[in-house]
Amino acid sequence: MKIKVIHGPNLNMLGIREVNIYGPMKLEDINKNMEAFAKQNGFDIEFYQSNHEGDIVDAIQESLNEGVDGIIINPAALTHTSISIRDAIKAVSLPTIEIHLSNIAAREDFRKTSMISDVVAGTITGFGPFSYHLGLIAMIQILNEIKMAKEAQAKAAAQQGN
Ligand code: DQA
């Protein structure tokens, strides 16, 4: 099964930008850690980063043609503004987990609203780079449950056919 990780604007600057808030780890290293953990658990994983809202909408939509089973997304600042990202998540209807490095509930008022939190399976916020790891654990759990349910359905259908 395949997981797509989408990073929004300015997350390519991790390690340089506001290190007091986002920490010193680079995006590349976050991705490497996720890749290793996904592989250990038998999942394929791919990564995408963009500073452009429309490109992120495209990346979400393209998941359907790429055989993606679940999306992990940190829309960064677009979390607080983007109805088009929200609509794209609803349109593809894949299990999706929202990630934030910082605790958005404990920051400026404008960060307290997320346009997507009510259309995703869940949100992990405030654990620095570990938020992504926790998100990956949750996604693996969700996808394993879906896989087991499908297998049980197939088994029941086969038994009925006999
Ligand atoms: C962020 C929080 C957003 O408010 C901010 O604009 C970001 C990163 C986070 O991961 O903590 O760029 O999504």
pTM flag (> 0.85): yes
Tokens at 78, concatenated: 């677009």
Q: Which residue has the CA at smallest separation from atom 1 of ligand 1?
A: 76
Name the DSSP class of 70.
E
For residues 85 and 90, what is the distance between their CA atoms, to the nearest angstrom? 9
Token pair 């008022």 is found at: 109
Tally of CB atoms within 10 A around 97:
25
Q: What is the mean pLDDT of residues 37-65?
A: 98
- Residue 117, classed as helix, strand or coil, is coil
Amino acid at 51: N
Write the pLDDT tens digit of every residue in 113-137. Answer: 999 999 999 999 999 999 999 999 9
Give percent above pLDDT 70 in the chain: 99
Handedness of CA 100, 48, 130, 97 (dihedral sign): positive
CATH 3.40.50.9100 fits 2-161, yes or no: yes
Of ligand 1's listed atoms, the one at least distance from the Cα of 78 is 6
Q: Active-site residues: which are they?
A: 22, 100
CB 27 within 8 A of CB 12: yes
Tokens at 127, concatenated: 């654990």
Q: Which residue has the CA at smallest separation from atom 13 of ligand 1?
A: 76
